[in-house]
Structure 1
Amino acid sequence: MNWTSVVAIYALFWVMSAFLLLPFGIRTHDEIGAEKIPGQADSAPANFRPGKLALRATVLAAALCGLYVANYVYGWIEPTDLDFFGDWVGYPEEQRPTE
């Protein structure tokens, strides 16, 4: 696998991780007892910390990307392992399991 492919896959994992982690740890003004600005939405976050979110997303993306690359190198899970219905259409004969 090329290093540019690993960087692209890491970037995809990072964005996915950031969106996944976005709602965790966020509190509204009502929850922390802070005063709201007139016209502010009730659900607006009062303690949003983008640096902390970026750090968490970086760590999670590194772990997921590491697992992905390790699976690519060692072949733990292959596409044929994910075919739950036994429909091997489109796979070459040598990749089909013998039953």
Structure 2
Amino acid sequence: MEKELLFITVIGADKKGIVARISNLLYQCNINIEDINQRIMGTYFVMTMLVDMKGSSLSLEKVREELEKIGTELGLKVQIQHENIFKMMHRI
């Protein structure tokens, strides 16, 4: 089965529950986390995720909307890009 990969980037002030809120939403949307990297840089929380939304019945726009709601609630900048767009933007 071919994957439908997305890159999710989350940046903002560090606080409890960020990973839990984002990963719980992805679970509820039937989106699989393929890879995750998170770190604290000073007082900033930075997380990147590679996820597969092939099994989700939601559109990319609906997932984006739900992630942005969480971002607003937690004071975070959340961005989501389809793998194809990410690759085009980061060609060397």
TM-score after normalising by structure 2: 0.29
Which has the greater radius of gyration? 1
Compare relative contact order (CA 8 Å, sep 6+) and give the higher one, 1 or 2. Answer: 2
Greater fraction of residues in strand: 2
